[in-house]
């Protein structure tokens, strides 16, 4: 068996040598053909590599700095509006307990929007709380120029104020948009000076999160809500110092005046802005009269719900079904209410047939639907009986 196997192996060895030679020769020929065919591509690749290396900065081979000019709808909107947003510094006198002359110092900063330039004067809208208590006001323009400002008028109810400065250094004014046309989810941009003028012209982006939000406001610090501010809600970051700044749409138009931020540990991304459609009539009144000429009846009021039910029925003699309304605490002499026969402890339940649940509802109806000189029909209870009277309203400042 051993020899047989050995003989067969020898025969295969003799035949294999010639086979290996032919196979090797064929491989060389084929390989050479492949190299020749690929040679142009190899040369082009080497040339491209050399070109890339040649174009790289000397001493910085392998990295190349590329400058991009990015232009989007957001950057265009910011460019249109940013120079119209200014910083506002509230300067107040500081108390001195050692007999020296009082000194002035910065009490706070905020933002404002230049909305008009006329006759060498530029007009700025901001928040009332930004300028409240100021002995002096200073405006810092987008380019850093500082101008003394004059307070034309302010309105605590809507948290709006109008200032004026010299217009010589003002080149751009804001364009107002239509806040009634806003949609939930629409992109908006907040521009202002968060945390002070060191961060002037800061931009944050978000969307309209909600429309016609009603936020209770305590104006005199007595823990009783005096008013409901109707605002826009956005998730664009609005921080202290942003107050009075602009909320702009994608066209760069101002659609809101940023007013406040809910800052609770469990709440993030809720910014509030006064709709520009609601702000415009206030701005016009402040510019023209220095105040908002709201209609008034000449009474002081209290919510019926704040009175214990015992006094509602025993003292005021109200029917048990009457649970909502406002109590007249005082009637001013020669006021519209006095002329119409209203008295202390009368309980107003409706105006022009519209139910009045509380003081806020009464003010909201009056301020949104009436002007001085208008008449209003008052439904009220006295000694348990329902009555009606009509009175002619006057401006609060005329009382």
Catalytic residue IDs: 129, 159, 243
Structure tokens at 173: 């004014």
- With pLDDT > 90 as the criterion, what percentage of the chain qualifies? 62
Q: What share of the chain is helix, strand, coil (3-state, %, to 5)?
A: 30, 35, 35
Distance between CA atoms of 233 and 245, rounded to whole angstroms? 15
pLDDT in tens, 58-109: 455 557 888 888 899 999 999 999 999 999 999 998 776 666 677 788 888 9
Instruction: Tell the residue number behind the tokens 């009332």, with chain if given.
Output: 128
> Domain 179-289 adopts which CATH fold?
Thrombin, subunit H (2.40.10)
Domain 74-96+103-166: which CATH class? mainly beta
Phi, psi (degrees; rounded to nearest 5) at 164: -135, 150
Reported pTM: 0.75
The pLDDT value recorded for residue 63 is: 74
Q: Do domains 74-96+103-166 and 179-289 have the same CATH topology?
A: yes
> Domain 295-398 adopts which CATH fold?
Pdz3 Domain (2.30.42)
pLDDT in tens, 112-162: 999 999 999 999 999 999 999 999 999 999 999 999 999 999 999 999 999
Q: What is the dihedral of CA 255, 260, 265, 268, to 10 degrees?
A: 10
Structure tokens at 33: 């053909």
Query: CA-CA distances (angstroms) from residue 304 to 81, 185, 312, 328, 389?
Result: 47, 40, 8, 10, 20
Closest by CA to 366, choosing from 384, 378, 382, is 378
User: Mean of the pLDDT values across residues 307-327?
Assistant: 93
Q: What is the mean pLDDT of the chain?
A: 84
User: Mean of the pLDDT values across residues 281-300?
Assistant: 94
pLDDT in tens, 208-261: 999 988 888 888 878 788 888 889 999 998 888 889 999 999 999 999 999 875
The pLDDT value recorded for residue 245 is: 95
Confidence of residue 13 (pLDDT cuts 50, 70, 90): very low
- Answer whether residue 38 shows pLDDT above 90: no
- Answer whether residue 198 shows pLDDT above 90: no
DSSP 86-104: EEEEEEEEEP-SSSPPPEE
Confidence of residue 170 (pLDDT cuts 50, 70, 90): very high
Residues in CB range of 329: below 8 A, 6 or more apart = 299, 300, 301, 302, 344
3-state secondary structure of 352: coil
DSSP 3-57: HHHHHHHHHHHHHHHHHHHHHHHHHHHHHHHHHHHHHHHHHHHHHHHHHHHHHSP
pLDDT in tens, 323-375: 999 999 999 999 999 999 999 999 999 999 999 999 999 999 999 899 999 99
Distance between CA atoms of 395 and 373, rounded to whole angstroms? 8
Distance between CA atoms of 304 and 314, rounded to whole angstroms? 14
How is the chain split into domains, by residue range?
A: 74-96+103-166, 179-289, 295-398
Instruction: Tell the residue number behind the tokens 């510094």, with chain if given.
Output: 89
User: Mean of the pLDDT values across residues 268-283?
Assistant: 91
Cβ atoms < 10 Å from Cβ of 154? 24
Distance between CA atoms of 298 and 396, rounded to whole angstroms? 8
User: Mean of the pLDDT values across residues 303-314?
Assistant: 92
Beta bridge pairs of residue 189 = 205, 248
Beta bridge pairs of residue 341 = none
The pLDDT value recorded for residue 224 is: 80
């Amino acid at each position: 068996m051993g020899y047989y196997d050995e003989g067969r192996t020898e025969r295969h060895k003799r035949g294999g040598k010639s086979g290996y030679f032919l196979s090797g020769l064929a491989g060389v020929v084929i390989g050479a053909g492949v190299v020749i065919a690929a040679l142009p591509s190899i040369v082009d690749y080497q040339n491209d590599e050399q070109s890339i290396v040649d174009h790289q900065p000397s001493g910085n081979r392998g990295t190349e700095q590329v400058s991009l000019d990015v232009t989007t709808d957001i950057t265009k909107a910011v460019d249109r509006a940013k120079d119209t947003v200014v910083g506002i510094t509230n300067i107040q006198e500081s108390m001195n307990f050692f007999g020296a002359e009082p000194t002035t110092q910065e009490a706070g900063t905020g933002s404002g929007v230049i909305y008009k330039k006329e006759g060498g004067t530029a007009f700025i809208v901001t928040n009332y709380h930004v300028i409240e208590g100021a002995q002096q006001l200073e405006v810092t323009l987008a380019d850093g120029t500082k101008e003394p400002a004059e307070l034309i008028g302010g309105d605590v109810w809507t948290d709006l104020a109008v200032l004026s400065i010299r217009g010589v250094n003002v080149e751009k004014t804001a364009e107002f948009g239509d806040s009634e046309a806003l949609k939930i989810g629409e992109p908006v941009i907040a521009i202002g000076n968060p945390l002070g003028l060191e961060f002037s012209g800061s931009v944050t982006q978000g969307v309209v999160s909600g429309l016609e939000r009603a936020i209770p406001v305590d104006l005199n610090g007595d823990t009783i809500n005096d008013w409901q501010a109707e605002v826009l809600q956005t998730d664009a970051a609005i921080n202290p110092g942003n107050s009075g700044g602009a909320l702009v749409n994608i066209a760069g138009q101002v659609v809101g005046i940023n007013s406040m931020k809910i800052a609770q540990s469990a709440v993030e991304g809720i910014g509030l802005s006064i709709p520009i459609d609601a702000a415009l009539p206030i701005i016009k009144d402040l510019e023209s009269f220095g105040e908002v000429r709201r209609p008034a009846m000449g009474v002081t009021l209290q919510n019926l719900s704040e009175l214990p039910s015992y006094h509602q029925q025993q003292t005021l003699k109200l029917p048990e079904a009457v649970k909502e309304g406002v109590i007249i605490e005082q009637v001013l002499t020669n006021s519209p209410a006095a002329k119409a026969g209203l008295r202390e402890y009368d309980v107003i339940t409706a105006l022009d047939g519209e139910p009045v649940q509380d003081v806020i509802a009464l003010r909201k109806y009056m301020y949104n639907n009436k002007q001085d000189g208008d008449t209003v029909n008052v439904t009220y209870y006295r000694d348990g009986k329902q009555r009606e009277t009509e009175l002619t309203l006057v401006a609060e400042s005329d009382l």
